[in-house]
Amino acid sequence: MYRPWLPYLCLFVAALLAALVTTPLARRVAWRLGAVDYPDKRRINTRPIPRMGGIAVFTGIIAALVVQYLGTKFLEWPMVLMPAPFLQNVNYKLLVCGFAAIFLTGVLDDVFQLKPLQKLLGQVVASLFAVAAGVVIGVIVNPATEGAFYLGIWTYPITIVYLVAYVNIFNLIDGLDGLASGLACIASFTMFILSVMSGRTDAAALAIALSGATLGFLRYNFNPASIFLGDSGSLLLGYTLGIVSMLSVTRVAGLTTIIVPLVIAGIPIIDTFSAIVRRKRAHVSIGQADRGHIHHRLIAEGFNQRQAVLIMYAWTALLCLGTFLMTQVSVMPRIAIFAALLIVSALIAGKLHLFRPVLLHHKDPKTGDDELVSPQDPEFVEEEEKFEERQAKRHHRHR
């Protein structure tokens, strides 16, 4: 008797085993190519760690796709390459090119440290492959009125921006052992469940493959990590989850379809948003790295790496549970659940002071040069007091 869950189990196991087997190989390749993270004042690691874990994750996904092909050809498994009704004639070969492009971009960055614009160009090229393949956000359906809003020519730039944003939020959250890979594992498994429930076999197959690959990689990436994801991995995670979300993970091809994957990726989104606000408030470049991310704040509160990561896993699991419930209820309860998740996350963000600047401008009294100081510098306390005074005056003027 045919069991519908068996192909997905095989995909999961294939991706997991492939990642387990190839991670040590990826580690050796990274050492040989010099793709290594050395300790510095903004990194958490205290010893050199190779950073090309994306090789193992990518191999895991490929292994799952090979198993799916063999199962379809020889074991009469059902076809999974069936796009959602609102996606017209998806070209899965072009989509594979998109995955190759984002992976290659990450590999080049791991080895050669690409400039930001070069890395962005690779992300845009990968997104263009997805658009060319027919995976786009073209119609948004209001769940309250069931009315359809057609994006028209804006379909393509909005899709590209959506995918590039999804790629970068996972790139930015990758700051602790096992953090990005663990969050992606939880998020992809949630998307798998929702995809199965909505009958989206292509999204389900890709999601369970990513879940298996990241779980296998976590064997080596969880604290104490012997290898990092690197950009070859973090960019791939964001791109894969973005593609899964657009292949439709809910029953309604509309506003809920867009909101659900955003809530699932809530922690990386909050972390990225707070970083932008934090740096803008202090008049620091948005691209300037700092130690004000969620994991930095948790460690500053006294948690160790493992505890900080597990707290963020639990937070993500809560968001994923909420998204599951959102897809099972009518409009008003759905809005209430979303509001509750938003309030809880906002309270946690406030408790951790995510929007408080951790880089401030300081004028060197000897040279007159403008420099950036962090809490590790003795001048920071003085500059923070000045910053708080300016904020208080600005708040008083606007009352």
At 182-224, the pLDDT tens digits run: 999 999 999 999 889 888 889 999 999 999 999 999 999 999 9
Flag whether pLDDT at 321 surpasses 60: yes
What's the CA gap between 358 and 281, in Å, rounded?
10
What's the CA gap between 243 and 392, in Å, rounded?
44
Banded model confidence at residue 299, pLDDT cuts 50, 70, 90: very high
Lowest mean pLDDT: which of 6-15, 38-47, 69-78?
Answer: 38-47
Binding residues for Mg(2+): 171, 231
Name the residue ranges covered by the structural domains of the chain: 6-253, 360-397
Sole residue written with tokens 């005056």: 393
**CB-CB neighbours of 339 under 10 Å:** 10
Q: What is the mean pLDDT of residues 138-148?
A: 60
Contact 318, 344 (CB under 8 A): yes
Chain centroid to Cα 82, Å, comes to 25
The three-state secondary structure class of 36 is: strand
Torsion sign over Cα 110, 115, 116, 119: negative
Chain centroid to Cα 354, Å, comes to 18
pLDDT of residue 137: 76
Q: Identify the top-confidence range among 46-55, 99-108, 155-164, 273-282.
A: 99-108
Mean pLDDT estimate for the chain: 88
What's the CA gap between 325 and 91, in Å, rounded?
32
Binding residues: 171, 231
The three-state secondary structure class of 39 is: coil
Which letter, b or e, does each residue of 366-396 get, where b requires 16 or more Cβ atoms within 10 Å of its Cβ?
eeeeeebbbeeeeebeebbeebeeeeeeeee
Maximum Cα–Cα distance for the chain, whole Å? 81
Choose between 259 and 217: higher pLDDT.
217
Banded model confidence at residue 250, pLDDT cuts 50, 70, 90: very low
Banded model confidence at residue 251, pLDDT cuts 50, 70, 90: very low
What's the CA gap between 24 and 227, in Å, rounded?
9
pLDDT of residue 62: 97
**CB-CB neighbours of 363 under 10 Å:** 11
Q: What is the mean pLDDT of residues 135-152?
A: 66
Contact 164, 171 (CB under 8 A): no
Cα Rg for the chain, rounded, in angstroms? 22
pLDDT of residue 366: 80
At 328-358, the pLDDT tens digits run: 888 789 889 999 999 999 999 999 999 999 9
What's the CA gap between 341 and 329, in Å, rounded?
15
What's the CA gap between 103 and 93, in Å, rounded?
16
What's the CA gap between 278 and 372, in Å, rounded?
14
Contact 312, 297 (CB under 8 A): no
Choose between 91 and 43: higher pLDDT.
91
Flag whether pLDDT at 138 surpasses 70: no
Lowest mean pLDDT: which of 65-74, 139-148, 164-173?
Answer: 139-148
pLDDT of residue 88: 63
Give pTM, 2 decimals. 0.90
Q: Identify the top-confidence range among 34-38, 57-61, 198-202.
A: 57-61
What's the CA gap between 217 and 107, in Å, rounded?
17
pLDDT of residue 102: 98
Number of helical (H) and strand (E) elements in the chain, helices listed first = 14, 6
Q: What is the mean pLDDT of residues 164-173?
A: 90
Lowest mean pLDDT: which of 230-244, 279-293, 334-348?
Answer: 279-293
**Which residues touch 137 (CB under 8 Å, ≥6 apart)?**
151, 155, 158, 159, 162, 246, 258
Q: What is the mean pLDDT of residues 90-101?
A: 94
pLDDT of residue 117: 95
pLDDT of residue 1: 43
Flag whether pLDDT at 316 surpasses 90: yes
Q: Which two tokens stand for residue 110?
A: 């791991």
What's the N-to-C CA distance of the chain in angstroms?
71
Q: Quote the DSSP letter at residue 362.
A: E
